[in-house]
Chain A
Amino acid sequence: MQNLLVADKVSKNYGDFRALNQLSIEVPKQSIFGILGPNGAGKTTFIRIVNQITMPDEGKILLDGEPLQPEHIQYIGYLPEERGLYKSMKVGEQVLYLAQLKGLSKKEATKRLKYWFERLEIGDWWNKKIQELSKGMAQKIQFIVTVLHQPKLLIFDEPFSGFDPVNANLIRDEILKLREDGATILFSTHRMESVEELCDYMALIHKSNKLLDGKVSSIKKKFKSNTYQVGVEVENEEYFLQQAKEKFNIEPTFFHSIHQDLQVNIQIAEQYSQNDLLAFLMNHGRINHFVEVVPSVNDIFIKTIQSHA
């Protein structure tokens, strides 16, 4: 079984509004899967369906090969976008309560909680009430609540929003560590740079429909435009540009360089390879800089949504 989570043509309506339309995705085991989409695209609806908070109208969800059922909640850890805890409840008691709801025994939960408290160096918080903690401290507790029952599938809805940079880094490192330990991570966000940084796979949802999905690297490959960022030192810039424009598409660009060179983006057509471009450049001057322009997830996101508008 390669995929931990499979959604098969899942749809959800709220009254006349179709929140999710025939969404199918496959989340491989031990991967980090990013669900992207603008606000209101249907990300949270999908995540709530996986968490069995709402039921899909059509389609089915498989977790580890089995149709989703109530017992599965213990295998899922969920950090919702709207976070919160009981303000007047003590930290230790609260985490134990939530962990027991996820099926842990009180004894086991206590043991694990002590481990996390030591690890995050927050041992003296046990008897504090949430309302006495700062926001950043409460966020740490929230994270512990999500992972304490060692779920196979971790779902983070906008994990970095609302976290301060220190905590965001902490969470990112913990997410990577959890993946190493065998967990599969699904996260939803509209912040592209976090996808760039963390995700192996992604799916793009827009207006209730999936527009594209797959491995991040293959998607990028598909979206690359055969463009190279080039820095060359040439004797006659005008002559060079004139020659280049006959064969390639040229646009000015900028990057930091220690040389006094000509900086351009060169897009090559189908019939040429990058070696042809290199040969051309070598003939005309000294090459200081030669990099393929890889589309950022942000570019792909905007491009895809615009092409569907």
Chain B
Amino acid sequence: MRNLKLIIIREYLARVRNKTFMIMTFLSPIIMVGMVVLIAYLSSLNSDENKIVAIYDESETFFSEFSSDEDISYFDFSDMPLEAAIDSVDKKDYYGLLFFPNSTDNQYLAKHTEFFANKAPGISFINQIENKISSVLTEKELQRRGVDLNAINQAKTEVNLQIENFSGEETSKLSNYVKMFFGGAAGYLLMMFIIIYGNMVMRSVIEEKTNRIIEIIISSVKPIQLMIGKILGTSFAGITQFAIWIVFGSILLFVVTGIFGVDISSSTPVPATQLDAGSQDEIRKLLTDIVHLPLAKIIGCFLIYFIGGYFLYSSVYAAIGAAVDSETDTQQFMFPIIIPLMLGIYVGFFSVIDNPHGMVSTIFSYIPLTSPVVMLMRIPFGVAWWEILLSILILVLSIFALVWIAAKIYRVGILMYGKKPSYKELYRWLKY
């Protein structure tokens, strides 16, 4: 136990003192915050920009329908020849020119209205213009056919389906998105952590092997002790890094928003004050939903699956590190790690979100290599305790089995030089 502690401390310090680690730890939050600020700033710039659009209306019925707003200003250019209008728009550097041909046939207008522009206009702009024209034409067509517009407007009925769960609590329609977000974020974070820190474990094993210090160390400690110490030490370094990210990142975000006065919430589409009563009701329900999520369960399970998944995979990483002589040789063994992780993420994003308690989701939340990711994504949708316990039990048993197998490969591998082992070779090592 004393030796294990020594190893954990050394591995922890070796990770934390590493220059790349320090740079990553302190630079990442700066980059992240910088990006958020930049995006917020750019999008505020973007929305400030006023597009000027010229309208050339031969039919003389459309211009009155287009009223300028804060995004787009419309000017009537119909009193000059079309060529002169286009030329003038080009010279004045307007956004473009909207051309309506002289016709009373709404179908003809729908097909032959044109937009002239130097640069291709954005999709959202095109949609906006198209919707506008479409609604004007539809109204005109309805009037032409003698339909009473007022009657139609009065007859319009808006439906807002109220969703309740069986215990009678109202839930938001956004509820599923909230659950998806929480589950997806947890699963994705887990995968990133496994890949980043698993790689660190692997590199550290390779380093010991290429430095040839390994034989001195294992004449003092058991290889499995060294392996477990390495995995634990590295995981503590990871936790340290996360903690620093969260603290440093939030301080930075707070400070930067204070200094630059960039209102980050403004990048959300609709400010809360402008919401009508119905939407406010939605938000209230949404907040209730978040509060009613099994948060304690999510956080508890996140920690368990986080640690479990990391242990499971990093022991494989350690075994791979022991089997090869250099990092370039590791590629062929990466499949057993990357495939189940990707599978977990894909099953999570496609199957769980579609049908959280379906057969595929359920099975993958039991398979130990995918269960950390998939189960984490399922939990916000409500999973029975016994299912979680069973999945954790399988995970824990697999960790013991896999650590045992990994330790065997590790024990043999760290003393093997100059061989590029195949899977067959690794299998033989299990029997040494």
Which positions in A face B, CB cutoff 8 Å?
Answer: 14-15, 48, 51-53, 70, 73, 76, 78, 80, 82-89, 97-98, 100-102, 145
Contact = CB atoms under 8 A, between A and B. Distances in A.
B219 A86 contact: no
A85 B214 CA distance: 9
B291 interface: no
A173 to B, nearest CB: 23
A73 B218 CA distance: 10
13 contacts: A15-B428, A51-B219, A53-B215, A53-B415, A82-B212, A82-B417, A83-B212, A84-B213, A84-B216, A88-B14, A98-B216, A101-B217, A102-B220
Contacts of B417: 82
Nearest to B226: A101
Contacts of A52: 219
Contact of A73 (B207, B220, B428): B220
Given A53-B218, A83-B216, A98-B216, 17 more contacts: A14-B432, A15-B428, A15-B432, A48-B415, A51-B219, A73-B219, A73-B220, A76-B219, A80-B219, A82-B417, A85-B216, A86-B14, A87-B211, A88-B14, A88-B18, A89-B14, A101-B6
B431 to A, nearest CB: 7
Interface string B1-39: 001001100100010001000000000000000000000
Nearest to B414: A53
B221 interface: yes
A51 B7 CA distance: 19
Q: By DSSP majority rule, is chain A's interface helix, strand, loop, or mixed?
A: loop
B219 A84 contact: no
B263 to A, nearest CB: 45
Nearest to A155: B219
A307 to B, nearest CB: 32
B431 A78 contact: no
B431 A15 contact: yes
Interface residues of B, number: 25
B205 to A, nearest CB: 13
Nearest to B215: A80
A133 to B, nearest CB: 13
A80 B10 CA distance: 22
A100 B6 contact: yes
Contacts of A70: 222
A85 B415 CA distance: 15
A145 B431 contact: no
Contact of B215 (A82, A97, A101): A82
A101 B14 contact: no
* Residue with the highest number of chain A CB atoms closer than 10 Å, among B6, B18, B208: B6
A99 to B, nearest CB: 9
B15 to A, nearest CB: 11
A85 to B, nearest CB: 5
A70 B221 CA distance: 9
A100 B10 CA distance: 12
Interface string B391-432: 000000000000000000000000101000000000010011
A201 to B, nearest CB: 23
Nearest to B428: A15
Contact of B216 (A15, A78, A87, A100): A78
Contacts of A48: 415
Given A15-B431, A89-B14, A78 B213 contact: no
Contact of B217 (A14, A88, A98): A98
A59 B399 CA distance: 34
Contacts of A53: 215, 218-219, 415
A87 B10 CA distance: 14
A101 B218 CA distance: 10
Contact of A84 (B6, B212, B428): B212
Nearest to B220: A101
Contacts of A101: 3, 6-7, 217, 220-221
